[in-house]
C-alpha cells in the first residue's frame, strides 16, 4: 500500500514509520518537524516527506495514496491548553479538512489518531466505545469533534477509522517526558523521587507505543468491512491503572526511590477506565506484548544508557509545551504555531 503518515516525526510516528516500511508499504510523511532537535538517543530515520504544516496540505498532495494515517496535531492536554481556539483549529477543523481532501482525492482509508481522553471524567465505570464521552480539556473536546465530523464523511468509497489510544508510554526516538509512565520513571531514575503531580487516585488506561503502532498497522491493512466507520479503544483492558499504582511499580523498579507529591496535589479531573475488548476480538492475531512493568524497565535501561538528568527531561528539549514556548519566543513559530520560513529552522530550533 502507498500510505501517507502525518506527524511522522513525532513520538508515535518515528516508531510507526519503520514498522510500516518493514511490512513493505510505500510510505511518505508530512511534518514541519518542530521537534527536530528533540531526539533521544539516535535520530529517527529519514523518509520521503512533505515538509508542510498539515493545515497546508491539499488534495493534489493526497492523490495516489491508498491510506492516510493522521497523527499530526497538538498532542496532549498542556499543549491543548496553550490556546484552546488553536487546539480546535488544528486538531478538529484541520483534521476534518484533511479528511475532506482525502475523500476528494480518492483515498479509500483514513485512520484518525484519537484518544481515550475523550472519556474525560469517566469515573469508576469501565467504558467501551459506545459509552458517553465527557472530555474535560480542549484536547479531549477537539478529538471528540474531529471523530464526529470525519465520521459523517463515510461513504461507499471512503472509510474513516478511529483509534482512541490509551495513554501511551515507552521508548521512541522522539521521546516525551510529559506522559505519566515516562515521567514517573524519569523522576525516579534522575533524582530518586517518584513524583506525583496529583493525588494519584485517577484511573488511566496505558499502552506501549509499539503496541499502538501495531494497532495502526492492523486497521490500515484490514478489509474494509472490518473497520469501515469503526471506533476502537487501543490498549488492553487489564492495563488500566490508578496513577498511584504506576508510581508503586516504578518505585519497585528503582530501589530506594520514594513516592513524593507536588504541593497542593489533589484529584485529577481526568479519570477513566476503558474496555479494549472490541479491538482484541476484531484483531485476535495482533500481539500486544507490553505491560507497564516491562515498559518501565525498558525506559530505565534507556535512561541509564544515555545518562538522563533532571535538567534534560524537565527542560525545553523533551517537554513539548516548554519546547513550543521556546520556539515561539525565538521567532521560529508564530502565534498560530506555524514555522516562520524566513529563518533557518534547524539553526533557530537548536536547544
Q: What is d(CA 324, CA 317) in angstroms, rounded to the nearest whole number?
A: 10
For 206-240, the DSSP string reads EEEHHHHHHHHHHHHHS-HHHHTT-EEEES-GGGE
Residue 301's contacts (CB-CB under 8 Å, 6 or more residues apart) are none
pLDDT digits (tens, 9 = 90+) for 195-221: 888 888 899 999 999 999 999 999 999
Q: What is residue 318's predicted lDDT score, i.e. its pLDDT?
A: 83
When mean pLDDT is compared across 78-82, 85-89, 280-284, the lowest value belongs to: 78-82
Residue 78 in this model has a pLDDT that exceeds 90: no
Residue 83 in this model has a pLDDT that exceeds 80: no
pLDDT digits (tens, 9 = 90+) for 227-279: 999 999 999 999 999 999 999 999 999 988 988 887 777 778 889 999 999 99
Residue 49 in this model has a pLDDT that exceeds 70: yes
Residue 15 in this model has a pLDDT that exceeds 90: yes
145: its cell numbers? 469533534
Residue 348 in this model has a pLDDT that exceeds 70: no
Q: What is residue 351's predicted lDDT score, i.e. its pLDDT?
A: 53
Residue 345 in this model has a pLDDT that exceeds 70: no
C-alpha torsion angle, residues 172, 177, 179, 184 (rounded to 10): 110
Q: What is residue 325's predicted lDDT score, i.e. its pLDDT?
A: 87
Residue 191 in this model has a pLDDT that exceeds 80: yes
Strand order in the sheet with 203-208: 167-169, 203-208, 240-242
Q: What is d(CA 326, CA 317) in angstroms, rounded to the nearest whole number?
A: 9
Q: What is d(CA 236, CA 215) in angstroms, rounded to the nearest whole number?
A: 11
Q: What is residue 108's predicted lDDT score, i.e. its pLDDT?
A: 98
Q: Is the pTM of this model over 0.85?
A: yes
Radius of gyration in angstroms for the set of CA atoms belonging to the chain, rounded to a whole number: 19
Q: What is residue 198's predicted lDDT score, i.e. its pLDDT?
A: 84
Alpha helices in 172-319 (DSSP H): 180-191, 209-221, 224-227, 243-253, 277-282, 292-306, 310-314
DSSP state of 120: -
Q: What is residue 80's predicted lDDT score, i.e. its pLDDT?
A: 59
When mean pLDDT is compared across 77-91, 94-108, 159-173, 199-213, the lowest value belongs to: 77-91
Q: What is residue 266's predicted lDDT score, i.e. its pLDDT?
A: 75
Please give the average per-residue pLDDT across 292-312, as a whole number. 95
Q: What is residue 79's predicted lDDT score, i.e. its pLDDT?
A: 63
Phi, psi of 123 (to 5 degrees): 75, -150
CATH 3.20.20.220 fits 2-348, yes or no: no
Residue 349 in this model has a pLDDT that exceeds 90: no
Amino acid at each position: 500500500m502507498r500510505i501517507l503518515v502525518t506527524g511522522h516525526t513525532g513520538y508515535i510516528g518515528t516508531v510507526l514509520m519503520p514498522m510500516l516500511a518493514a511490512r513493505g508499504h510505500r510510505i511518505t510523511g508530512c511534518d514541519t518537524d518542530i521537534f527536530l532537535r528533540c531526539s533521544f538517543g539516535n535520530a529517527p530515520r529519514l523518509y520521503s516527506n512533505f515538509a508542510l504544516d498539515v493545515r497546508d496540505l491539499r488534495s493534489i498532495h493526497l492523490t495516489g495514496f491508498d491510506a492516510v494515517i493522521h497523527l499530526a496535531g497538538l498532542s496532549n492536554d498542556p499543549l491543548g491548553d496553550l490556546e484552546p481556539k488553536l487546539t480546535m483549529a488544528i486538531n478538529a477543523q484541520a483534521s476534518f479538512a484533511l479528511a475532506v481532501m482525502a475523500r476528494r482525492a480518492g483515498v479509500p482509508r483514513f485512520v484518525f489518531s484519537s484518544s481515550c481522553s475523550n472519556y474525560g471524567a469517566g469515573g469508576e465505570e469501565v467504558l467501551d466505545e459506545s459509552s458517553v464521552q465527557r472530555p474535560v480539556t480542549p484536547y479531549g473536546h477537539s478529538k471528540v469533534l474531529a471523530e464526529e465530523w470525519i465520521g459523517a464523511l463515510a461513504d461507499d468509497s471512503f472509510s474513516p477509522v478511529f483509534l482512541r489510544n490509551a495513554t501511551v508510554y515507552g521508548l521512541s526516538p522522539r521521546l516525551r517526558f510529559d506522559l505519566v509512565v515516562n515521567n514517573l520513571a524519569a523522576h525516579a531514575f534522575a533524582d530518586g523521587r517518584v513524583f506525583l503531580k496529583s493525588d494519584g487516585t485517577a484511573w488511566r488506561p496505558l499502552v506501549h507505543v509499539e503496541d499502538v503502532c501495531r494497532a495502526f498497522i492492523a486497521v490500515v491493512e484490514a478489509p474494509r468491512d472490518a473497520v469501515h466507520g469503526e471506533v476502537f479503544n487501543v490498549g488492553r483492558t487489564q492495563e488500566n491503572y490508578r496513577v498511584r499504582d504506576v508510581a508503586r511499580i516504578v518505585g519497585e523498579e528503582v530501589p530506594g526511590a520514594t513516592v513524593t507529591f507536588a504541593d497542593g496535589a489533589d484529584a485529577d479531573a481526568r479519570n477513566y477506565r476503558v474496555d479494549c475488548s472490541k479491538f482484541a476480538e476484531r484483531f485476535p492475531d495482533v500481539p500486544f506484548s507490553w505491560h507497564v512493568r516491562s515498559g518501565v524497565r525498558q525506559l530505565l535501561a534507556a535512561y541509564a544508557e544515555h545518562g538522563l538528568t533532571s535538567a534534560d527531561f524537565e527542560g525545553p528539549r523533551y517537554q513539548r509545551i516548554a519546547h513550543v514556548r521556546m520556539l515561539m519566543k525565538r521567532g521560529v513559530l508564530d502565534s498560530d504555531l506555524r514555522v516562520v520560513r524566513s529563518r533557518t529552522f534547524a539553526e533557530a530550533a537548536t536547544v
